[in-house]
Amino acid sequence: MALDKNNKNVDGPLSGKLVIDASQGIAGPYCGQMLAAYGARVIKIDPPTGDWCRSVGTTFGTLSIYSVAYNRGKEGIVLDLKDKEDLETLYEMVSQADIFLESSRPGVADKIGIGFDTLKKKNSSLIYLSVSGFGQEGAYAKRPCTDGVAQAYSGFVDGNVGNDDTPHKVDIPIIDIVTGMMSCQSVLAALHLRDRKGEAIYLDNNLVGSSLEVQKARLMEQHINGSVVTKLNIPSGIYKAKDANVAIALATIAHFKKLIDVLGAKDLQEDPGLDDFEGCAQNEDRLRARLQEIIGTETSEHWAELLGAAGIIVNRINSVQDVLDDDNAQDGGLLHQINHPGLQNYLLPVMPLMPVEVGHAPETGQHTDAVLSELKS
């Protein structure tokens, strides 16, 4: 199959590679979107009812904010994989593909005829990625799992303790997103391995595994010491200035000493119990209260300038709108203007080797006729 016209990165590192993306949601599609951004031709297969992510967030026809964010640069077709003719169409596409992505519950892909053992008979050098919640094996494999469940099960929520001493779920689907990134990394590595071995490769990426991956240090600490420090380098954290919250990060005890010096907190400077982070942790409540008393007297801009000049890591807590309104975010290349049919222009980050205009996210079945005609020609 030829290079598609929707993907703008015709000279990308993956140009010439074909990806069949039968995944839904965020993690699998995000993997596919990154492969498209690197230049691969990615054909997204929707069921007749559409990818469920198309209804998540603000919607625009058959698109949503989330489906656009994680499906740019793809072609979109509709296949009913319970229909024999459509299943045969998938087999024909897979026979020409480099990579296949799916995210059904463990066992479902085999049941409907698109499991790894079936598809590798159609293509002996296929890279097959499965994205699931708990992985393909074990007692929990068939448990329903979402980003929130993965956060809860893996200890991620327990480690995200706020100043209120309460564990908090991260409301951004961070584990879905990390799983998509790790899935892309696995696929890229598998492409190199296939070049050496020339055989089909199966990849089992899952949400819980990704959530554990980003907590390696906590897992080691718990295993070795029998406990985990949930707050690092107290009194690092969030404080309320006159007009907004500010984040202060203290990488070393020297940063803490500098902080209380700049704040003019002589009582804290003279306290022998605050000579190290262990002592700070033991006196956390009164220490935070004293710092808050001082920080609450001035604006966030005042503290950003004063503390920043002293080499202390600090920043106002911005809203998303604050970031979008900051000209420096665009001038510094952090955000780029993106054009998309049917949507007003918007700003997104762009990673190295990925073009700003990778291509739009397809409507449900937008390219079905064109792709099927190509298959028959």
Q: Do both 97 and 148 map to the same domain? A: yes
Q: Is residue 327 part of a domain?
A: no
By mean pLDDT, which of 73-87, 213-227, 245-259, 336-350 is the weakest? 336-350
pLDDT of residue 10: 81
Q: Would you state the torsion angle of the CA atoms of residues 177, 338, 12, 23, taken in this order, to the nearest 10 degrees? A: 40
Q: Do both 177 and 118 map to the same domain? A: yes
1 pLDDT tier (thresholds 50, 70, 90): low
Q: Do both 149 and 277 map to the same domain? A: no
Q: Is residue 63 part of a domain?
A: yes
pLDDT of residue 162: 77
State the average pLDDT over residues 234-259. 97
Q: Is residue 229 part of a domain?
A: no
The number of folded domains in the chain is 2
Domain extent, residue 296, equals 245-316
pLDDT of residue 4: 56
pLDDT of residue 345: 87
pLDDT of residue 2: 55
Q: Are strands 99-102 and 127-132 parallel, antiparallel or unpaired?
A: parallel
Residue 176, pLDDT above cutoff 70: yes
Q: Do both 345 and 292 map to the same domain? A: no
Q: For residue range 177-222, list pLDDT tens digits in order.
A: 999 999 999 999 999 999 999 999 999 999 999 999 999 999 999 9
Q: Do both 63 and 186 map to the same domain? A: yes
Q: Do both 79 and 199 map to the same domain? A: yes
Q: For residue range 94-119, list pLDDT tens digits in order.
A: 999 999 999 999 999 999 999 999 99
Exposed/middle/buried for residue 327 (C-beta within 10 Å: 0-12, 13-18, 19+): exposed
Q: Show the 3-state SS of the chain.
A: CCCCCCCCCCCCCCCCCEEEECCCCCHHHHHHHHHHHCCCEEEEEECCCCCHHHHCCCEECCEEHHHHHCCCCEEEEECCCCCHHHHHHHHHHHHCCCEEEECCCCCHHHHHCCCHHHHHHHCCCCEEEEEECCCCCCCCCCCCCCHHHHHHHHCCCCCCECCCCCECCCCCCHHHHHHHHHHHHHHHHHHHHHHHHCCCEEEEEEHHHHHHHCCHHHHHHHHHHCCCCCCCCCCCEEEECCCCEEEEECCCHHHHHHHHHHCCCHHHHCCHHHCCHHHHHHCHHHHHHHHHHHHCCCCHHHHHHHHHHCCCEEEECCCHHHHHHCHHHHHCCCCEEEEECCEEEEEECCCCCCCCCCCCCCCCCCCHHHHHHHHHC
Q: Is residue 323 part of a domain?
A: no
Residue 360: closest CA among 371, 372, 345 = 345
Q: Is residue 321 part of a domain?
A: no
pLDDT of residue 5: 60
Q: What angle do CA 355, 356, 357 make, to 5 degrees?
A: 90
Q: Do both 166 and 52 map to the same domain? A: yes
Q: Do both 340 and 311 map to the same domain? A: no
Residue 171, pLDDT above cutoff 70: yes
pTM value is 0.93
Distance CA 280, CA 293 (A): 17
Q: Do both 158 and 272 map to the same domain? A: no
Count of positions (residues) in the chain: 377
Q: Do both 194 and 59 map to the same domain? A: yes
Q: Is residue 240 part of a domain?
A: no
Q: Do both 154 and 276 map to the same domain? A: no
Q: Is residue 326 part of a domain?
A: no
Q: Do both 27 and 173 map to the same domain? A: yes
Residue 14: closest CA among 43, 38, 31 = 38
The two tokens of residue 251 are 């990488």
Q: Is residue 130 part of a domain?
A: yes
pLDDT, averaged across the chain: 94
Residues contacting 21, CB < 8 A, separation 6+: 28, 29, 32, 42, 43, 44, 45, 74, 101
Sign of CA dihedral 279, 284, 286, 289: positive
CATH number at residue 26: 3.40.50.10540
